[in-house]
Amino acid sequence: MSEINIEEIKVELSEWIQENWDPDVTVSEWWKRLSDGSWSATSLPVEAGGRGWSRVQSAAVMSTLFAHDVVGPPTGLGVMLAAPTIAIHGNEDQIERLIPPILDGSVAWCQLFSEPGAGSDLAGLQTRAVKDGDEWIITGQKVWTSGGHIAEKGMLIARTDVDAPKHQGITYFAFDMDQPGVEVRPLREMTGRALFNEVFIDEARVSNADLIGGIGNGWAVANTTLMVERSSLGSGGPQPVSVPAGVKAGKLLGNRLGTKVGDHVLPDDGRMESDGGRGLDVRWLSDLAQKIGSANDPVVRQEIVKLHILGEVNRLNMLRAKAGGSKTGAEGNLAKLAMSELVRRSRDVGNLIIGADGMLSSSASSFDGRVQEATIFSPAPSIYGGTDQVQRNIVGERVLGLPKEPGPNKETPFKELLQN
Ligand SMILES: Cc1cc2nc3c(=O)[nH]c(=O)nc-3n(C[C@H](O)[C@H](O)[C@H](O)COP(=O)(O)OP(=O)(O)OC[C@H]3O[C@@H](n4cnc5c(N)ncnc54)[C@H](O)[C@@H]3O)c2cc1C
């Protein structure tokens, strides 16, 4: 881990911004500059385009970008999950080929893990990958694929060996979404949005060169993705899906990659609308309470403070873990649990503040419908990235050493297990 301190980071980046920021260049050009300067994902190792910096150091990068009113690097599942996973498990060719287009926002990724019969029991997945010369033929169905409709690449896990035990016959691929045999169908949520999709895969192909981490090693690779996902979601505070800087990755910007980057700078307190709608953070809630005159209500005050304390405890806990403090191995799980609790509490505090207005549909609301949106989205964070119950199971079994859930012998070949 680099020894550079926060002040040095701020100085180096501020100088770099002076030389490189130009509101008149396109979003793609700006992201290319950030990526070429190794500012897009500083927590990645140097050989993967990062700087090997800690979460604290990387947070200083984001806050410096904010302070200079410039657009941040691309976000999305590519930067959040695919790049760190490939950096750990990919070979040299994959790191060089797959990571740069993530860091400059030119290629967006989705996560092709869950299936109709394999969510919490992810290792029970049925999608098959069959070797055909230098390629693999993929057939199966994925579901809840966030951003699948706009992604060019997918982190795909598929079964390559039905004779091996459940967790051992799985392989991880970097999969092209835009090819014959891949059909993406949007699923509309109760929020009215279509954040996720069903993905039907019928004899689509993936090159052997895009197999990540070795044949049959997909469960270990997928666990890296899941671990990174929990930690990232958990450190995002009460926002449903934290968007750390002004704009989103790849096609998530629609056709705006070619637009002037200066047009996407947010105001100081601006947080971009995330895929889950606009979240409710403590500052926004306390401003709302002041605006509508309930800030002196002792119950409202108390609930806002409780929310703030829980958020701070989670934030500090994550910092402590990342700074090398004592680790239990469950930091990511605990942070994810805290995040879903924060989302529920912020929903409740929002509704406490707006009272009966919360029963109105968002367009009829006097407070622009943000609390209503957050209320309808609030069940999601306790499900995605592994449900709350699954996080607790992991903590119970792997950290506290409680007995494992009853189930078939781990060595039983997959094909002999009861299938959904
Ligand atoms: C907004 C959103 C976005 C998502 N995005 C993606 C994505 O991009 N890619 C992707 O692959 N997946 C995605 N998912 C899917 C998500 O990971 C799964 O929904 C989740 O893992 C749960 O799986 P399931 O829906 O099949 O529920 P199930 O596994 O069927 O679980 C149903 C219920 O049973 C409980 N349960 C199951 N097993 C146990 C157990 N052993 N002990 C105790 N309780 C248990 C669960 O906690 C849950 O309450 C997303 C989900 C949501 C809500």
Rounded to a whole number of angstroms, the distance between the first and last alpha carbons of the chain is 45
pLDDT of residue 2: 66
What is Dmax (Cα atoms) for the chain?
71
Tell me if 111 CB under 6 Å of ligand 1. Answer: yes
CB 372 within 8 A of CB 358: yes
Does residue 411 have a pLDDT over 50?
A: yes
What gap in Å lies between CA 22 and CA 29, rounded to an integer?
10
Tell me if 114 CB under 6 Å of ligand 1. Answer: yes
At 132-147, the pLDDT tens digits run 999 999 999 999 999 9
Among residues 148, 149, 136, 147, which one has the least CA distance to residue 218? 136
At 104-128, the pLDDT tens digits run 999 999 999 999 999 999 999 999 9
Residues above pLDDT 90, as percent of the chain: 68
At 280-319, the pLDDT tens digits run 889 999 999 999 999 999 999 999 999 999 999 988 887 7
What's the token pair of residue 191? 């929020």
Question: What's the whole-number mean pLDDT along residues 210-223?
Answer: 98
Does residue 156 have a pLDDT over 80?
A: yes
Which sign, positive or negative, has the C-alpha torsion 80, 84, 89, 93?
Answer: positive
Q: For residue 360, give the amino acid letter.
A: L
pLDDT of residue 250: 39
State the chain's mean pLDDT as an integer: 88
List beta partners, residue 211.
173
Q: What are phi and psi of 170, to 5 degrees?
A: -110, 140
What pTM was computed for the model?
Answer: 0.91
Sheet strands (E) in 116-253: 128-132, 135-142, 153-159, 170-176, 182-187, 196-207, 211-212
CB 240 within 8 A of CB 276: yes
CB 213 within 8 A of CB 89: yes
Tell me if 109 CB under 6 Å of ligand 1. Answer: no
Query: How far apart are the CA of 380 and the centre of ligand 1, in A?
Result: 10
Please identify, by atom number, the ligand 1 atom nearest to the C-alpha of residue 147.
8
Nearest residue (CA) to ligand 1, atom 51: 384
Which of 145, 155, 232, 383 is the pocket-test mutation for ligand 1 (most atoms within 8 Å of CB)?
383
Does residue 274 have a pLDDT over 80?
A: no
What's the token pair of residue 394? 């992991």
Does residue 322 have a pLDDT over 70?
A: no
Cα separations (Å) of 81 from 86, 141, 226, 297, 381? 9, 21, 8, 42, 17
Does residue 243 have a pLDDT over 60?
A: no
Does residue 35 have a pLDDT over 70?
A: yes
Query: How far apart are the CA of 384 and the centre of ligand 1, in A?
Result: 6
Stated as kind and residue range, the H or E segment containing 238 is none
Q: For residue 116, give the amino acid letter.
A: P
pLDDT of residue 241: 31
Tell me if 144 CB under 6 Å of ligand 1. Answer: yes
Nearest residue (CA) to ligand 1, atom 32: 120
Please identify, by atom number, the ligand 1 atom nearest to the C-alpha of residue 118.
26
CATH of the domain spanning 105-231+278-420, picked from 3.40.50.2300, 3.30.420.10, 2.40.50.140, 2.40.110.10: 2.40.110.10
State the pLDDT confidence band at 249, using cuts at 50, 70 and 90: very low
Nearest residue (CA) to ligand 1, atom 29: 120
CATH of the domain spanning 1-75+243-276, picked from 1.10.10, 3.90.25, 1.10.540, 1.20.120: 1.10.540
Q: For residue 279, give the amino acid letter.
A: G
∠ CA 316-322-326, nearest 5°, is: 85
At 333-371, the pLDDT tens digits run 898 999 999 999 999 999 999 999 999 977 788 888 889
Tell me if 380 CB under 6 Å of ligand 1. Answer: yes
pLDDT of residue 319: 75
Query: How far apart are the CA of 296 and the centre of ligand 1, in A?
Result: 40
Among residues 154, 173, 160, which one has the least CA distance to residue 212? 173
Question: What's the whole-number mean pLDDT along residues 151-171?
Answer: 97
The b/e string for 367-402 (b: 16+ C-beta within 10 A; e otherwise) is bebbbbbbbbbbebbbebbbbeebbebbbeeeeeee
pLDDT of residue 93: 98
In the chain, where the domains are located: 1-75+243-276, 105-231+278-420
State the pLDDT confidence band at 407, using cuts at 50, 70 and 90: confident
pLDDT of residue 175: 98
pLDDT of residue 246: 40
Q: What are phi and psi of 156, to 5 degrees?
A: -110, 130
Query: How far apart are the CA of 131 and the centre of ligand 1, in A?
Result: 29
